[in-house]
Amino acid sequence: MAAEDQPDPDAPAGNADVSAKLFGTWETDEIEYGDPSTERYITVTPVAHTAGRHASKQFKKSQISIVERFINRLMQTEDNTGKKQKTLNHVREAFELVHERTEENPVQVLVTAVENSAPREETVRLKYGGISVPKAVDVAPQRRVDQALMVLAEGVYNDSFKTPTPLAEAIANQLVGAANYDVQTYAISQKEEKERVAAAAR
């Protein structure tokens, strides 16, 4: 095989068939982005399970589909660690619920939820002598996406752990709430709190 015919190992996962759909249902090629700063760090592909293709490559996590990254975040709890297929099925069911409630593409709802949940400012602690002083700093775009996924997953966990709310419904609640910028949603409330604290530390 000629060198030019070989596949690019660093190409985004799942780009082999642009006509494929996520979970066989949802289009991924017409997603709109509302935040230019995070757009390059939110990859959308029809593949939700790449089997750790980018795990050994530093700084390649942004090439993984945002759906798979969200699924991986949901697995980072004591009860769900390693249960990829189970979590994937819950997300698939949650996407159906999101579509029923909003009549929109749930992938678009997830992207909007991540953009809305990403904090723009946070605080760090600087030491002057023996005194710690909070200082407001801008958040890097990649870190914004990472933190948005973290708080969305935490919100799902809080809604579903030791409650009668099924996991799929808790996922749908968090995604729809964050996409609508509902301040009662855990992810949005955490973002607002971080930015409020940062504003006070300017």
Q: Are 173 and 188 in contact (CB under 8 A)?
A: no
Single-letter code of the amino acid located at 16: A
Classify residue 130 by its DSSP letter: T
Residues 6+ apart with CB under 8 A from 29: 18
Ranges in the chain, pLDDT < 50: 1-10, 12-18
Check residue 83 and give its pLDDT.
Answer: 81
User: What φ, ψ does residue 88 adopt, rounded to 5°?
Assistant: -60, -40
Contacts for 54-58: CB closer than 8 Å, 24+ residues apart: 54/13, 57/10
Look up residue 128 and give its two tokens: 């002057």
**CATH number belonging to the domain at 3-200, selected among 3.40.50.300, 2.40.10.10, 1.10.132.10, 1.10.455.10:** 1.10.455.10
Give the domain ranges of the chain.
Answer: 3-200
Check residue 58 and give its pLDDT.
Answer: 66
- The total number of residues shown for the chain amounts to 202
Q: How far apart are CA 76 and CA 178, in angstroms?
A: 20
Check residue 7 and give its pLDDT.
Answer: 46
Burial class (CB in 10 A: 0-12, 13-18, 19+), 182: middle
Question: In degrees to the nearest 10, what's the CA dihedral of 165, 170, 172, 174?
Answer: 140
Check residue 2 and give its pLDDT.
Answer: 46
